[in-house]
Amino acid sequence: MTTTKNIVLASSSPYRKELLNRILDDFICESPDIDETPFPDEEPVEHVARLAEQKAMTVGINHPESIIIGSDQICVLEGKILGKPHTADKAIEQLQACSGKTVNFYTSLCVLEGGKEGQDLSVVITEVKFRELDKGEIERYVKREQPLDCAGSFKCEGLGIALFESLSSKDPTALIGLPLITLSESLRKVGVQVI
């Protein structure tokens, strides 16, 4: 059964929009305006799940009869959340800190169906093992790909993949920003067939 409800992606991320376009042709995007500051003593998985749910619920107020998709992602190195770098210097600093280490990416997903109680909320963890990187290659990478709006300071769908020794995830697109395997399952639960 295919739903006739509108689908809204609660995001202004061009990466999430591009990913959602892989499985859906017809949806709109609306940017949620929320405070993404972690609560005191909030664990990373709790933080990222809360943000996905809050984004979906905030946008859902304007679209009560729609299916809302909220998502968020954080990068965690040695228990510390690494935000988007926004500057080349900060990106270089983040990648130097990640060199030779394992970094966890938490990508959350919340799907709300307007007019119904509850939501489908999940978090996909991707483990990335960075190879040993020298400062010169980090600087060349940042200059070439400009990953200033990306958690972890890289774009794995581009040249950033060359920074890794390995990665492990049950949902490969989660690392780009939207876990499509998980999302497809959530959409099927609310009557949206993507195939």
- Tell me the CA distances in angstroms from 141 to 107, 132, 190, one per residue in order: 24, 14, 41
Backbone angles phi, psi at 151, to 5 degrees: -60, 130
Sort strands 7-10 and 67-77 into parallel, antiparallel or unpaired: parallel
Model pLDDT for residues 30-59, shown as the tens digit of each residue: 999 899 999 999 999 999 999 999 999 999
Chosen CATH of 7-189 out of 3.40.190.10, 3.40.50.620, 3.90.950.10, 3.40.50.300: 3.90.950.10
pTM across the whole model: 0.92
- For 25, the enclosing helix (H) or strand (E) is none
At residue 2, does pLDDT exceed 50? no
Cβ neighbors of 5 (< 8 A, separation 6 or more) are: 65, 66, 67, 113, 114, 190
DSSP code at position 138: H
At residue 126, does pLDDT exceed 90? yes
What residue ranges do the domains of the chain occupy?
A: 7-189
The catalytic residue positions are 72
What's the pLDDT score for residue 1? 40
